[in-house]
Amino acid sequence: MVSTQHRVNIARSFSSATNSYDVSARLQRYTGKHLMPKLPNRNDLTVVDLGCGTGFFTNILASKYKHVLGVDLSKKMLEFAESKASYPIEWIEADAYHLPFEDGSIDLVYSNLMIQWCNPLSELLKEITRVLKPGGLFIFTTLVDGTLHELKSSWKQVDNEPHVIDFQTPDSLNDTFEQSQFKLLEHEVKDIILEYENVLHLAHELKGLGANHVPNKTKKGLAGKDKWRKMTESYKDFQEPSGIYPATYNVFSGVAVKLNV
């Protein structure tokens, strides 16, 4: 299982991003809205927003469902979310691997771009199946291999340090679900390309999202100016004729049901 310290580091990374997160969250808004049509129409459900962040979609869920719980590892995120909430929502600071819910007590777990931080994913799925009722749904998005390939490729021209998280392949993700108590009812893999004015703009957005935490990186702190210059020079290979810098996010969205076994 992923170490507690690693999760603390992730929490710290996202906490430091609290005030800039909603400004930077273009991708989260897009993918979260993409999940909305997949939600059940019944309103008498107990719903968990797992990795709720600033609570943008927790509020939308609370407008649809009777009992909504926003769960996040970051206390600052939760405080920010509560201050912006428009509906009655129960905010809970918790580790996704140790959810403070009774077995079979939740109808739906919604999670937008969070589970890519969870390793091993199989252990997280065990915990989600524990708290879900039989027939309960897990509706989610995550990032898979191919995400930020432009940035990865550009850094590889400079050094062998990990500057971007390694994401699972879609096949690996499917295999993990097949070995779990879930059945994937539907899934989709889609490239979303965001445009940036320059590489610094991309770096600022990743930092604003708290997504710049790389677990296996051995050297701390910012890359040296010379390395940064070499990387940005390499990134020009991907620059569009308009001068825009693209960054690809490979998004896996899915609806999974807990099997009654």
Evaluate if residue 222 carries a pLDDT over 80: no
Between residues 201 and 176, which one has the greater pLDDT? 176
- The alpha carbon of residue 126 and the mean position of all alpha carbons in its chain are separated, in whole angstroms, by 18
What CATH code is carried by the domain that includes residue 82? 3.40.50.150
| For residue 120, cis peptide bond before it (omega within 30 degrees of 0) | yes
Q: Which residues pair with 68 in a beta bridge?
A: 47
Please tell me the total number of residues recorded for the chain in this structure. Answer: 261
What confidence tens digit (pLDDT) does each residue in 30-83 have?
A: 999 999 999 999 999 999 999 999 999 999 999 999 999 999 999 999 999 999
pLDDT band for 100, please (50, 70, 90 cuts): very high
Question: Does residue 200 belong to any structural domain of this protein?
Answer: no
Question: Does residue 74 belong to any structural domain of this protein?
Answer: yes
Instruction: Specify the range with the lowest mean pLDDT, choosing from 19-23, 223-227, 254-258.
Output: 19-23
pLDDT band for 213, please (50, 70, 90 cuts): low
| The predicted structure's pLDDT at residue 218 | 52
DSSP class per residue in 63-101: TT-SEEEEEES-HHHHHHHHHH--S--EEEE--TTS--S
Question: Does residue 159 belong to any structural domain of this protein?
Answer: no
Q: What is the pTM of this model?
A: 0.85
Q: What does the mean pLDDT of the chain come to? A: 86
Question: Does residue 215 belong to any structural domain of this protein?
Answer: no
Question: Does residue 69 belong to any structural domain of this protein?
Answer: yes
Question: Does residue 158 belong to any structural domain of this protein?
Answer: no
Domain that includes residue 173, residue range: 4-147+165-191+252-258
Question: Does residue 240 belong to any structural domain of this protein?
Answer: no
Evaluate if residue 216 carries a pLDDT over 90: no
Number of domains, the chain? 1
Element containing residue 31 per DSSP (H, E)? helix 26-35
Question: Does residue 102 belong to any structural domain of this protein?
Answer: yes
